[in-house]
Homo-oligomer: A and B are copies of this chain.
């Protein structure tokens, strides 16, 4: 039987930054994510309850969604495999942070796209929890970049040339 991550693949990858009630931040990689609404902007992602991100969202219902570019594939992989319970991923990966404007978790320096979000839905479906967040502030420095697309485990891809449909 195929896994759902093989059936719907590859997927856009995002980094989700959260913090616990003490303000200690965590960063992790997700590819079960999508836009939901244009105006106001909403995004959704799905998180396993085993992840530190889940724990943090229960304490502080706010997050930053950062969209990494192709050069950051190894950062994405490290963010997806190392647990924030055991290691400070920001220090390990040399990720510098800055105070966000509308949410408690920090934003990263020099990412093409970052969205500050507050959780409006946090609900269990099967082995994951669905998170829907409303975007309160966005930081966009670049839109024309090669994204990180995820298949499963350490297998990634990026895009080919653009194709115009007729």
Contact = CB atoms under 8 A, between A and B. Distances in A.
A10 B159 CA distance: 8
A106 interface: no
Interface residues of A, number: 65
Contact of A128 (B36, B130, B161): B36
A143 B8 contact: no
Given A126-B134, A160-B160, 20 more contacts: A2-B138, A4-B135, A7-B115, A8-B33, A9-B147, A11-B12, A11-B34, A11-B35, A36-B126, A38-B126, A73-B165, A76-B165, A120-B125, A149-B159, A154-B165, A155-B162, A156-B162, A156-B163, A156-B164, A158-B160
